[in-house]
Amino acid sequence: MTGKLLLVVNPRAGKSAAKRHLLELIELLTDGGCEVTVLPTKPGEKTPEQISSLLQSGRFDFAAACGGDGTLHLAVDGVLRSGTKLPIGYLPFGSTNDFAASLGIPTDWREAAEALLQAEPIPHDVGLFNGKPFTYIACCGAFAETSFHTSQSLKNLLGHTAYLFSALPALSELHPLQLEVHSDDGDFAGSFLFCAVANTRSVAGMVKLDGTQVDFQDGKFELLLVRYPANLKDAGRLTAKLLNGEIDDPLLHLRHVTSCQVTATEPCAWSLDGEDGGKEPLCEIRVEKSAVAVLKNEKTS
C-alpha cells in the first residue's frame, strides 16, 4: 500500500535496529510511493493517544508499526481509539515477533518494507480484555510476567533467548493457578500452569499452532489451557508436546471462543501482547470480529 503513512517507531526494538536503519527504511518507503511521518513511541498511554489524534486529523491513509509486537499493540490501540479504521502495517524489528510469524511477514526489514508496499488490507479480529484491546494474546501463568519484565537491554543483547534467561529464576517459583474458566465453547476449573486467549500461530516463538487451528478473521480466538502437571514425567511430556504444536494431551485444552470469563482465587499477572496487563482476579475477554484491517502481502505468506 502507498500513500501518506504514519510510521510508529520503537527506536530501541531489535538491538536498536529500528533506529539504525530508520533513514534507509524511510528512503525505501518514500521511493515506493509513501509520504512518511515518523512518531517515536513513548511510555504509558501517550503513544496510542498521539496516534489517535494524528489519524483523526485526516492527514494519513494508513499506519504501520516499526518495532516488536508491543509496538504493534500500541498502533492497533491508537487506530481503534481514532475510530478511523485505517489499515495497519507491521515492520518487525522486535525480539520474537510472534504476530509477524503468524502472518508470514518477512523478518528481514527490507523484505518486510517491500511487502508492505504491495500489501492489501485484510480484516482482522481484535480481543478486548476487560475493555482493553489486545492484538494477538492475553495470557497468565507460567512465565507470563517474563515477557514484560525482561529488560529491553537484555532483549537487545540476546533476542528471544532473553526471555528464557529471565524465566530461569521463576522455575522454582511456579505454582498452580486456581482458575474457573467459562466460555461459549466449554467450562473448566482446577489447577492450571498457563492460560491464554490468543489469535496467533506462534506463542513466545515456542508454542506452535497450525493454520487449521487458527483463523484470524473468524470472530474467534483460541483458548489454550495447560493444567498443572502432577510430576516431572508429566511436565516433560507436556513441554515436548507444546513445542511440537501437539494438543492431544489430557493436560491440554484448546477451544475456539468468542468470549470467556476467567476467575482466579487470587489476582494473577496478565500479559497483553507481551505488555503488562495488570493483576486481575476476574477477567472478561471477548472478540471483536474484523475490528481492524491489517496490511498483508499474500505473496509472502
DSSP for 50-116, written as a single string: HHHHHHHTT--SEEEEEESHHHHHHHHHHHHHHT----EEEEE-SSS-HHHHHHT--SSHHHHHHHH
What is the C-alpha to C-alpha distance for residues 247 and 287, in angstroms, rounded to an integer?
A: 22
What is the C-alpha to C-alpha distance for residues 84 and 6, in angstroms, rounded to an integer?
A: 13
The pLDDT of residue 205 is 53
- Distance (Å) of CA 142 to CA 9, 47, 227, 250, 264: 30, 29, 11, 18, 14
The pLDDT of residue 244 is 73
What is the C-alpha to C-alpha distance for residues 80 and 86, in angstroms, rounded to an integer?
A: 9
| Residue 300 grid cell | 509472502
**Element of type H or E holding 20:** helix 13-20
Domain boundary assignment for the chain: 3-124+292-300, 132-290
* In contact, 144 and 194? CB cutoff 8 Å: yes
Low-confidence ranges of the chain (pLDDT < 50): 146-172
The pLDDT of residue 203 is 65
| Residue 130 grid cell | 476487560
* In contact, 136 and 73? CB cutoff 8 Å: no
- For 233, other C-beta atoms within 10 Å of its C-beta total 9
Q: Would you say the CATH fold of 132-290 matches that of 3-124+292-300?
A: no
CATH number at 3-124+292-300: 3.40.50.10330
Strands 207-208 and 202-203: antiparallel
The pLDDT of residue 19 is 87
Measured between its terminal Cα atoms, the distance across the chain in Å is 16
The pLDDT of residue 235 is 80
Question: Which amino acid would we find at residue 152?
Answer: Q
What are the φ and ψ backbone dihedral angles of 220, each rounded to 5 degrees?
-135, 145
The pLDDT of residue 160 is 39
The pLDDT of residue 155 is 40
The pLDDT of residue 199 is 92
In Å, the largest CA–CA distance within the chain is 58
pTM as predicted? 0.85
The pLDDT of residue 206 is 57
Q: Is 132-290 in CATH node 2.60.200.40?
A: yes
